[in-house]
Each structure stands twice: as structure tokens, then as C-alpha cells.
Chains A and B, each alone.
Chain A
Amino acid sequence: MIEGFTALYIFMLAGFTGYEVISRVPVILHTPLMSGSNFVHGIVLVGAMVALGHAETDMEILIGFIGVLLGAGNAVGGYVVTERMLEMFKSSKEAK
């Protein structure tokens, strides 16, 4: 159980981490980075799986199902799109 001040500390430190990671990034990487961070919050899939796993009524199962479906879409789609974008950065260097 993550509660009280432990939760607050995690929140603060993770917040600073995100800020630090993004600052001083060249403009050319803004789109891939936005796409990459979009992929990272695809971790919501894990939470949706737990929610569906504990769902009891039909309504809960339905909504949990939708949640997992959306979460999986976020994670997989985010990965594919980011990977394709970054792929091009590789090829441009090799062509040089």
C-alpha cells in the first residue's frame, strides 16, 4: 500500500524526473518525444487489467473490458508510431 507522505514523495520526485528528462531537448525530437511519453502512459493498461480482474457485475466487466481495450490501444499504438518515427532518424544518418 502506497499512502500518505510516501505517495507524495513519489509524486514529487517523479515530477522532477519528467521535467529534467525533457528539458534541453532539441526541437527535432519534440514530436518523437511526445509520442514516446504518450507510449509510456500506456502503462494504464496494467491498471485496467487489475480493474477488470476484480470486476464483479456485468456492468463492471463491460467497462473494465473497454478500459483494457483502450489501454492496450494506447500502449501498442504508441509504441508502433514512436518506433516508426525514430526509425527514420537512423536511416537519415546512414544515408549521410
Chain B
Amino acid sequence: MGLAIDVSYFLAAALFILGLKRMSSPVTARGGIVWAGAGMVVATLITFLTPDMHNYGWMTLAIAIGGGLAWYSGKKVSMTDMPQMIAIYNGMGGGAAAAIAAVELMGGEFHSSTFQILAVIGALIGSVAFSGSMIAFAKLQGLIKRSLVFPGQQLFNLLVFGGALMFGFMLMGADQPGSFSILIFFGLALLFGILMTLPIGGADMPVVISLYNALTGLAVAFEGFVLSNAAMIIAGTVVGSAGTLLTQLMARAMNRSLSNVLFSGFGSGVAAGSAEQGSEGIMKEIDATDAAVMMAYADKVIIIPGYGMAVAQAQHKVWEFARFLEERGVTVKFAIHPVAGRMPGHMNVLLAEAGVPYDKIYDLDEINNEFPQADVALVIGANDVVNPVARSNPDSPIYGMPILDADKARNVICVKRGKGKGFSGVENALFFLDNTRMLYGDGQDVAGKLIAELKQL
């Protein structure tokens, strides 16, 4: 039986790596998740045959409940809310790793002290990933609106972390760890995850989720060592390193370092005050008729979607509108900022859902020098990624972030629901420019009106 289990875990690990490899190319991506899924099924089924196990009833029940709820929520959630679902599933993984460590620590049967140390480290990382991901979920879901910032926050967080470490060291050395110190240890680790995530602004959440994803992978790998489970070690480590790289790529796309994201309390209102100087003047409104005419007689229109389009579920209407423009001989291109939406590639996913072909979608580097030749830049629910203060105002918290140069187009039309600030809380100087017109309304309604106007022309 041992051999069958080893072979299955080996197969699962291989399928995970091949699956991830396939997922890294658009052509094979769909097959990739199926391969990885097959690996997961094989590994889970064979685990039931592990010798000397009991509690099968509880095990089956837990899988049924956890899996059932996740299946239901995963199927039901709209594409817009994907980021927070990834956050919550990721947190569950971290929590599971922490739970493994807790059971092992309470059982107190470690083969060597190295395993005990790894179990505690994995528990710490897993707990932080768990509570941190839950806060990330709550923030993206809108359950927590404000970023919590208080004086001496970083020192306080450091103390909590230090406390968790101290109890962690105690657990590492103890022959039979007391349940009291185990409780305190997990309590402090969970608290640290919460405290660390609370001050981080919503716009930075993608990076944070990606970081927690990598951390969960690492925690899984450490618990894999403790259980001598090769599949967990390999899968966890692969995710740990891949996730770290992905996190760096995302942070780089925003031109910020990871430590800056984690410790600056960005967009919390403290920094935002200084940014408002650059945005003087008034916002000028335009109605749907004029906007439609302006674009219908343009040669080139560049559409810049943002989170607002996702919220309004406007991607289908926007694509329909773009096709009407194309029928009239207008060149339409979609410009996507690497961090538009709540995740890198979030907009690509939504546009792909609506059926926009790849060759009409352009990255920041590809499209930025085309804006001066564009007659209209149509900004739909994007804000920070087109804010010119990122180029001009060194005091702004988003200074230095590469942006889409929408302001260089001859005309800019911004579709926006209200007059408020963006998700990061920074005032957008683009809205006040002479060549900018505001088109207020929900993204989907506005796109519908524009289509209706186009039909009448």
C-alpha cells in the first residue's frame, strides 16, 4: 500500500507542475487546470488508504461541507468578484496548514526536533496568510471600508509579531507543548495577519493576495516536511517560489517595492492630502449624444477599462459599442494597465469573457506612444492608472507609477459613476484637464446609451 501511495503522490506532483506549465500559455491554459485537477483527485483518493488512520466519518463530512460550500460559491460568484474569492480560498489553505501544525503540536510526536521547528514556522506563516487573506477578502468585498491607521502602528505590529515569535520558539523547544502556549501562539499569529493587512489600501490588495498565496504555499511545504509528504513539499514549494515571483512582477508593474506596499499605509488618507494640490479647475460634463458623435467621427478611439467597468458588468456592452464604431471605420483599441482592476490581468479576463479578440488589447508599453494620435481616449471606470499626477507630482502617493497616457489624447471622455475619488483615495488630475469631459453614469447604462445614439446617427 505504501508504494501505491508514493506512486500516486509522485504522479500528483508531476501533474501539478505540468499543469502550471500549461497554464502559463493561453493556448494550453485550459488543459492545464484539468491536469492539475486530476493530480489533486488522485492524491486525495489515495490518502484515504493511508495506514493506521481513523475518523473517516469526520474526514468525509469535512470534505463534503468544505468542498460543497466552495463549489457552490465558486460557481455562483460573478467574474467581477473573482479576486476576493481567490483571497478567501487562499486563506483557507493557510488555515488548513496551521491546523495541521496545531494537531501535530498537540499530539507532540515529532520524529526529530527539525520537524518540530518546521511545524511551528509553517504554523506561523499559515496563520498569518489565513487571517490576512480574510481581511483582504473583507476589504475587497466592501465589508471593511476604511484602512485602519493609528500612531505607533508599526511598533505595535512588531510587538505582536515578536510575541508570536517568542511563543513560537517556546513551542519549538518544548517536549510536550502546553495547550495554553499553543493557544497564545496561534492567537498572536492570527492577530498579526489582521493587523498587517488592515492598514493596506484596497488598490494594493492584488499584490497582498499574491503574497499571501506564496506564503500559503510555503506553509504547505513546511507542513509537508513534517508529515513527510512529498506531494505537499513539492506543490507547496513550487507555489511558494512562483507566487513570490508573481508578487514581485505585480509590485514592479506599480513601480513600488513590496516593503513599500506592506508598510506605507498607502491611500489611507494620511498621504492623500498632499496629492490634491495638482488638481485644480472644474470637471466639465458631456452628455451621451455628444460623446457618441465625437467618437463616431473619430479616426482612432482607445478604450481604457478599469474596475468601474467590472463593477457595472459593462464589458459586453462596451465591446458591442466598439464593434459599432468599427463598422463606421473607426479604429478601436483597448489599452490595459497591468494593475487595472483588482488584479493583474483582471481586465483581460473580463474582456475575454465579452469576446474581445486578443489583437485589439494592448499593454501599457505597446499603446502609450499611440495616445497622441488618438482622437478620443474613452476611460471607463479607471482612475489611478490614468492619473497624470503619477508623472508630475512627486508628493503624490502614486508618484512614479507607470500610467496610461490618456491625457495626451486629443479628447478624453471619462465614464464615471460619481464625482468621488478613486479606490486609492487620490484625486485624479485627469478629470480637470481642458480636453477632458466627464460622462456620468453606470458603465453599462452609459455604453447602452452610446450604442443607441450611434444607431441613430
Is the A/B pair a real complex? Answer: yes
Chain A residues proximal to chain B, CB less than 8 Å: 1-3, 7, 10-11, 14-19, 21-57, 59-61, 63-92, 95-96
CB within 8 Å for A52 and B103 given contacts A59-B179, A66-B95, A77-B92:
yes
Closest A residue, CB atoms, query B64: A72
The segment out of B24-32, B150-158, B271-279, B389-397 that lies at the interface is: B24-32
> Given A35-B82, A59-B179, A68-B62, A41 and B75 touching (CB < 8 A)?
no
Complex Cα–Cα for A96 and B344 (A) = 24
The chain A residue sitting closest to B51, CB to CB, is A53
- Of B40, B54, B86, B353, the contact of A88 (CB 8 Å cutoff): B353
Contact of B67 with A by CB under 8 A: yes
Closest partner residue, chain B, to A22 (CB atom): B242
Q: Which of B194-202, B223-231, B281-289, B438-446 sits within the interface?
A: B223-231
CA distance A14 to B40 in the complex (A): 18
Contact B349–A31 (Cβ < 8 Å): yes
Report the bound CA distance from A14 to B217 in whole Å: 12
Distance, CA A5 to CA B31, complexed state (A):
35
Q: Which of A33, A41, A77 has the most CB of B within 10 A?
A: A41
* B289-305 interface (Cβ within 8 A of A): none
Q: A53-B55, A64-B103 are in contact. Are A34 and B229 (CB under 8 A)?
A: no
The reply to whether B242 and A18 contact each other, CB–CB distance below 8 Å, is yes
Q: What's the minimum C-beta distance from A54 to chain B, rounded to whole angstroms?
A: 7
Interface string of B106-138 (1 = CB under 8 A from A): 110001101000000000000000000000000
Residues A37 and B242 in contact in the complex (CB < 8 Å), given A11-B233, A81-B77: yes
Chain B hits for A78, CB < 8 A = 86, 89-90, 93
Chain A residues whose C-beta falls within 8 Å of the C-beta of B107 in the assembled complex: 54-56, 60
User: Once the chains bind, are A44 and B223 in contact (CB under 8 Å)?
Assistant: yes
A85/B90 in contact, CB under 8 A: no
Residue pair B233, A27 in contact (C-beta under 8 Å): no
A15-B240, A36-B32 known; A22 vs B245 contact (CB < 8 Å): yes
When distances are taken between beta carbons in the complex, the residues of chain A under 8 Å from B239 are 18, 37-38, 40-41
Query: How far is it, in angstroms, between the C-alpha of A47 and the C-alpha of B241 when the chains are bound?
Result: 20
Q: How far is B357's CA from A57's CA once the two chains are assembled, in angstroms?
A: 57
Does B270 sit within 8 A of A, measured CB to CB? no
Chain A residues near B61: list those with CB within 8 A. 65
Is the beta-carbon distance between B23 and A50 smaller than 8 angstroms? no
Is B406 an interface position by the 8 A CB rule?
no
Q: A15-B240, A54-B52, A85-B349 are in contact. Are A34 and B343 (CB under 8 A)?
A: yes
Residues of A within 8 A of B102 (CB): 63, 67
**Cα(A82)–Cα(B85), bound, Å:** 11
Q: Say yes or no: A31 contacts B345, CB within 8 Å.
A: yes
Interface set of B (CB-CB < 8 Å, partner A)? 9, 12, 16-17, 19-21, 23-26, 29-30, 32-34, 36-37, 40, 43-44, 47-48, 50, 52-56, 58-59, 61-63, 65-71, 73-75, 77, 79, 82-83, 85-86, 88-90, 92-93, 95-100, 102-104, 106-107, 111-112, 114, 179, 209-210, 213, 216-217, 220-221, 223-225, 227-243, 245-246, 249-250, 253, 336, 338, 343-346, 348-349, 352-353, 355-358, 361, 363
Closest 8 CB pairs of A and B: A67-B99, A53-B53, A80-B74, A77-B70, A72-B66, A18-B241, A14-B237, A74-B93
Question: In the complex, what distance in Å separates the CA atom of A33 from the CA atom of B29?
Answer: 9
Q: Identify the closest chain B residue to A7 (Cβ).
A: B225
DSSP majority for the B interface?
helix
Residues of chain B lying within 8 A (CB to CB) of residue A36: 19-20, 23, 32-33, 36
A35, B53: Cα distance in complex, Å: 32
Tell me whether B30 and A87 are in contact (CB under 8 A): yes
Residue among A32, A38, A59 facing the most chain B CB atoms (10 A cut-off): A38
Chain B proximity of A48: nearest CB distance (Å): 5
A2/B225 in contact, CB under 8 A: yes
Q: Which of B217, B357, B361, B363 has its CB near the most chain A CB atoms (within 10 A)?
A: B217
Q: How far is the CB of B206 from chain A (nearest CB, A)?
A: 9
A-B contact pairs, 26 of them (CB 8 A): A22-B20, A27-B348, A28-B361, A31-B345, A33-B24, A34-B86, A36-B32, A37-B213, A38-B86, A42-B89, A44-B232, A45-B96, A46-B9, A60-B103, A61-B55, A65-B58, A74-B70, A74-B90, A77-B71, A77-B92, A80-B70, A83-B34, A86-B29, A86-B30, A88-B352, A92-B357
Select A51's contact among B95, B227, B238, beta carbons within 8 Å: B227
Residue of B whose beta carbon sits closest to that of A59:
B106
- What's the nearest-Cβ distance from chain A to residue B21, in Å? 5
CA distance A20 to B332 in the complex (A): 36
Nearest CB in chain B: distance from A56 CB, A? 7
Check if A84 sits within 8 Å of B220, measured CB to CB: no
A3:B59 contact, CB within 8 angstroms: no
Cβ A30 vs Cβ B344 within 8 A: yes
A96 to B52, CA, bound (A): 55
Given contacts A47-B100, A59-B106, A82-B33, contact A29 B345 (CB under 8 A): yes
